[in-house]
């Protein structure tokens, strides 16, 4: 998805070759996309305030399935409940049965929605002012847990642990917070610095936003940032597995593993973190990194 108001689908061969499959348009920049559980449909939302559903095996047409008063920043399709959850800058979450024109449920948030993830019956939402709401989708009428993130600056991205025991959140200040949901596991919570580079003054570091966090099927995870780097981590052993240097002088704005974790896709695109002076007609590109088992394998704990 892009700020050019388009959502594009690509076919990727076993050899890693790509070819465009089809595309649809919104009436404004597209800020979020998510596949259905079976991969046959794509959901998208953005600044035109609409959520759309697009069947990939059909024509290049999409139908509106949701609407907010302000831009839709995040959305997640929850296949166990056949529900689309949308989070907006209008400070609400809405749940949609895509066969109906009105939301099945609307919930107020304390602030604008900036990040969202779901896994089975778990939904985690990150808002402005570092608010985090956790929902049990079996009882979605009110949050199961509310807290303020240990991160000291704006939340940029959030992802559930594969075992649903917690979530990882990244911020604009080059930090990631690892948070467990059960009170008995609070002692496992920690935060670490990442996506920083030494400046000309060696006593200071240039700090970059963490734009994406993505978990691998093996339980390890990747971060990608405005410094143009992506890094693989193991939260259980609290180790950095491998750091990949930037290929170009451009931020990584989004990233994801494919279903079996063999490919790590990342988008290189200016994220406006340094303002218009640093734009310089930069290119917008998507890269595919073949993931080697030794790059992403969990490590033994050192403590």
DSSP string across 58-99: S-S--EEEEE-SS-EEEEEEETTTTEEEEEETTSEEEEE-TT
CB neighbour list of residue 120: distance below 8 Å, 6 or more residues apart:
80, 137, 164
E strands along 122-220, which residues? 122-127, 131-136, 145-148, 155-160, 166-171, 175-180, 190-193, 196-198, 205-207, 210-215
Mean of the per-residue pLDDT values of the chain: 93
Separation CA 130–CA 151 (nearest Å): 7
Per DSSP bridges, beta strands 175-180 and 190-193 are antiparallel
Q: Which residues contact 124 (CB under 8 A, 6 or more apart)?
A: 116, 117, 118, 132, 133, 134, 135, 158, 160, 167
What pTM does this model have?
A: 0.93
**φ and ψ at 154, to 5 degrees?**
-55, 135
pLDDT of residue 43: 97
Structure tokens that stand for 68 in this block:
């907010």
pLDDT surpasses 50 at 15: yes
Indicate the SS3 state at residue 277: helix
pLDDT digits (tens, 9 = 90+) for 102-151: 999 999 999 999 999 999 999 999 999 999 999 999 999 999 999 999 99
DSSP, collapsed to helix, strand or coil, labels residue 4 as coil
The one-character DSSP state at 141 is T
Give residue 17's pLDDT.
85
Tokens at 3, concatenated: 């700020």
pLDDT band (50, 70, 90) for residue 303: very low
Q: How far is CA 162 from the centre of its chain?
A: 14
CA distance 70 to 110: 15
DSSP string, 203-246: TSEEE--EEEEEE-TTS-EEEEETTS-EEEEETTTTEEEEEE--
pLDDT single digits (tens) 28-72: 999 999 999 898 999 999 999 999 999 998 777 899 999 999 999
């Amino acid at each position: 998805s892009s700020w050019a108001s388009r959502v594009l689908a690509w076919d990727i061969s076993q050899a890693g070759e790509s070819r465009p499959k089809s595309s649809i348009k919104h009436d404004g920049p597209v800020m979020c996309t998510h596949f259905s559980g079976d991969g046959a449909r794509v959901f998208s939302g953005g600044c035109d305030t609409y959520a759309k559903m697009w069947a990939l095996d059909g024509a290049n047409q999409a139908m509106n399935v949701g609407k907010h008063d302000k831009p839709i920043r995040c959305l997640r399709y929850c296949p166990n409940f056949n529900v689309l959850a949308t989070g907006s800058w209008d400070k609400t979450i809405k749940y949609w049965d895509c066969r109906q024109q009105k939301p099945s449920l609307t919930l107020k948030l304390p602030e604008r929605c900036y990040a969202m993830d779901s896994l089975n019956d778990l939904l985690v939402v990150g808002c402005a002012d570092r608010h985090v709401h956790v929902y049990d989708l079996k009882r979605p009428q009110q949050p199961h847990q509310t807290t303020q993130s240990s991160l000291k600056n704006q939340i940029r991205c959030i992802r559930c642990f594969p075992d649903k025991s917690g979530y990882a959140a990244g911020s604009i200040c080059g930090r990631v917070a690892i948070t467990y949901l059960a009170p008995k596991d609070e002692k496992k919570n920690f935060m670490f610095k990442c996506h920083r580079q030494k400046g000309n003054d060696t006593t200071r570091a240039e700090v970059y936003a963490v734009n994406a966090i993505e978990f691998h099927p093996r339980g390890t995870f990747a971060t990608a940032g405005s410094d143009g780097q992506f890094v693989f981590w193991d939260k259980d052993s609290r180790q950095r597995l491998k750091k990949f240097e930037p290929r170009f002088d451009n931020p990584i704005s989004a990233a994801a593993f494919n279903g079996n974790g063999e490919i790590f896709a990342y988008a290189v695109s200016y994220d406006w973190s340094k303002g218009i002076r640093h734009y310089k007609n930069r290119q917008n590109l998507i890269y595919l990194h073949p993931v080697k088992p030794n790059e992403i394998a969990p490590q033994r704990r050192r403590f």
